Amino acid sequence: MIIYFSATGNSKYVAEQLAEDRERLIFIPDAVDQGNYVFTVEPDERVGIISPTCCWTLPGIVEDFLKKMEACH
């Protein structure tokens, strides 16, 4: 599972390249719009987070999402 945020498309490109049609892609703004913060992580599934930095920190939407996100097995 790759969770990502992209403003200009660069991080989206990286997420898609890493996923190689084998990993689930979760776009943070879509998850936020749907109120979806709980994700089931399958056995042996890896979780990656891809985001640009803004002024040497995470964009606000990414930080807020990560604070609310829950991963279940």
Per-residue model confidence (pLDDT) at position 72: 85
Whether the model clears a pTM of 0.75, i.e. scores above it, the answer is: yes
**pLDDT tens-digit readout, 39-57:** 999 988 999 999 999 899 9
Q: Distance between CA atoms of 41 and 57, rounded to whole angstroms?
A: 26
Please say if the pLDDT value at position 11 is more than 90. Answer: yes
Per-residue model confidence (pLDDT) at position 12: 97
